[in-house]
Amino acid sequence: MSDLSRIADAEFDVIIVGGGVYGAVISRECALSGLSCLLIEMNEVCQSTSANSLNILHGGLRYLQHLNFKRMRRSIYSRHYFQQLATDEIDRVAFLTPLSGWGINGPIAMRIALFLNDLISMDRNRDISRLQQLPGGKVLSNRTLRNALPQFQSQKTTGAAIWYEAVMNNPAKMVNTILDSAKEQGAVIISKTEVTELIHQNGQISGIRCRQSNDEQTVTVCSQCIIDTTGKTSCKLGNNLPGYPALKQHWARAVNMLINRPLFGHYAVGLKYSDHVKDNEAKFDSGNRHLFFVPHGETSAIGTFYESENAIDGNLEINAADQQRYLDAVNSVLLKDSITSEDITGWQSDWLPLEDDAISGQLNFAKASRIRSVDINGRFSGLIEVRSVKFTTAPAVARDVVAMMR
Ligand SMILES: Cc1cc2nc3c(=O)[nH]c(=O)nc-3n(C[C@H](O)[C@H](O)[C@H](O)COP(=O)(O)OP(=O)(O)OC[C@H]3O[C@@H](n4cnc5c(N)ncnc54)[C@H](O)[C@@H]3O)c2cc1C
C-alpha cells in the first residue's frame, strides 16, 4: 500500500502543507501538544528556500539597530531550540567584523552592543553541551586583528568585533532530524505529494485533495485545520475559498555565491558593502550592510545579494551579468585576495518576502514572520497561513501557531 492510499479518507486534527523548516517544526510542536497531524510535501523535504539559506542560526545581534528586543529574544529562543534538538548538525562559529572610526562603527559603540547582546542572551547556554556553548562577544585590538587575519594589515581599522553564532552543517539533515522527532510523537510525514485543493463547505474547511507527483488521481484527507507553510506559494492555497481575503505579496531574490575555499580561516567575516536594500526601521543605521563570508569546511558561502522580483523577471537562475555583478561586489570589499569565476562552485538562489507596503522596486524586507488565521464571513475558516522570514525563527513561530490553536 502506498503512503498516500494509507491516508486516503483518514482524519487528522491538523494538516500541514509544505515540508520546509517551518512545516517541520510546526508538525513537531503540534504532535508534541497532542494533536494528530499530517505533513505533506510535494518534493523531498527541505529542497526549497530552506535548502538555500546561508545556514546561520543567529541570535539577532543586528536587531539591536532597531532596538527590537522582542525579535532578538525570539531568535535566541529559536537558536537554542535547534541547538538542543540537533546538536550534531550545528557548529559554533566566530563571526568577525572589522571596526572603523570611533563613532557608530567603532570599538566603543560595538563594546556596548556586544555587552547588550550577551545580557539579552544570558540564558543562551542553558542545557547546551560545553562544545556547543556560545561564548560572549569581545572587541579585538588592531594588533590582535592583524595577527589573526593578516589581510587587514594595511586597512584603516580600529579593531574588530567578535561574536558567536550557530551555523548548520546541512539544513536538510536538520529538517529531517526535526521530522524524525515529530514522527516519534505520532506525526505522519508524506513527501512527493502535492496538495492541489482545499475542500470546504461555505468557506469552512473539511480537508484537502492531494496527489502523488507521478499520478493524476487525487486522494482526499480530512481535517478542519490546515496550516499553509508553502513558502513562496503560501497564501495561494486558500484561493478557492469563496470570499478568501487575498493578499498582495512582493518578493525579492536572495542569492549566495559558493566558492572553493574559506577566505578568512575559521572565521565568518562580515565586510561592509553598500547596496540598494532599505532598512527604514533602523534606529542606528551605519548606512551599509554586511556581506558575510561563511566558511563551510574547505569551502565558503558568500552572501547575501538581493534583487527585486521585477528587476530579474521572476527568475531564480543566475546569468552571466548577475555573476559579474556579484563578483564585482565581492572583489570590491575583499582586501588582498580576489576571486574569479573559476573559484565559484555554485549558487543558492531563492525568494524572501518584502513588507506588505513595500513600494515596487524598493527592497524593504519583511521584518517578522506573519501568521494569518483566515476568516471567511466573520468565522475562522480553518486555514492558518504562515509567511516565513528567517530559518532561525521557525521554532518561535511554531510556538505561536500552537498557542493560536488552543
Ligand atoms: C539566499 C538565502 C539566504 C538565507 N540565509 C538565511 C540565514 O542564514 N539564516 C536564516 O535564519 N534564514 C535565512 N534565509 C531565510 C530562510 O531560508 C527562509 O526563511 C526559510 O527557509 C523558509 O522556510 P519555509 O519552510 O517557510 O519555506 P520552504 O523551505 O520554501 O518550504 C516550503 C515547502 O512547501 C512545499 N510546497 C509548496 N507548495 C506545496 C503544495 N501545494 N503541496 C505540498 N507542498 C508544497 C515546497 O516544495 C517547499 O518544500 C535565507 C534565505 C535565502 C533565500
Question: Which residues in the chain are classed under CATH 3.50.50.60?
Answer: 4-50+173-246+366-405
How far is it between the farthest Cα atoms of the chain? 70
Residues of the chain with CATH 3.30.9.10: 251-353
The residue whose CA is least distant from atom 31 of ligand 1 is 20
**DSSP states of 162-230 as a string?**
EEEEEEES-HHHHHHHHHHHHHHTT-EEE-SEEEEEEEEETTEEEEEEEEETT----EEEE-S-EEE--
Please tell me the predicted confidence (pLDDT) of residue 216: 82
Query: What's the pLDDT at 1?
Result: 52
Query: Could you read off the pLDDT of 295-314 as tens digits, one per residue?
Result: 998 999 999 999 988 888 88
**195: helix, coil or strand?**
strand
Among protein residues, the one whose CA lies closest to atom 50 of ligand 1? 53
CB of 261 within 8 A of CB of 300? yes
pLDDT of residue 281: 63
Distance CA 86, CA 79 (A): 11
Rounded to 5°, angle at Cα 396 from 24 and 174: 35
Report the C-alpha gap between 222 and 238 in whole angstroms.
16
The CATH architecture of the domain made up of 251-353 is 2-Layer Sandwich (3.30)
Question: pLDDT at residue 196 above 80?
Answer: yes
**Unique residue bearing C-alpha cell 562603527:** 105
Calculate how far, in angstroms, residue 7's C-alpha sits from the geometric centre of ligand 1. Answer: 26
Mean per-residue pLDDT over the chain, rounded: 92
Tens-place pLDDT, residues 316-365 = 999 999 999 999 999 998 877 789 999 999 999 999 999 877 666 678 88
- Give the residue, by CA position, lying nearest to ligand 1 atom 2: 53
Name the CATH superfamily for 4-50+173-246+366-405.
Answer: FAD/NAD(P)-binding domain (3.50.50.60)
Confidence at residue 278, expressed as pLDDT on a 0 to 100 scale: 58
61 Cβ closer than 6 Å to some ligand 1 atom:
no
Give the side-chain half-sphere CA count within 13 A for 27: 35
The SS3 assignment for 273 reads strand
pLDDT number for residue 217: 87
| Nearest atom of ligand 1 to the alpha carbon of 193 | 43
Q: How far does the centroid of ligand 1 lie from the alpha carbon of residue 160, in Å?
A: 33
The string of pLDDT tens digits covering residues 231-269 is: 988 778 898 899 999 888 889 999 999 999 999 999 999
21 Cβ closer than 6 Å to some ligand 1 atom: yes
**Ligand 1 pocket test: which of 44, 391, 392, 401 has the largest number of ligand atoms within 8 Å of its C-beta?**
391
Regarding the beta carbon of 157 and ligand 1, being less than 6 Å apart is answered no
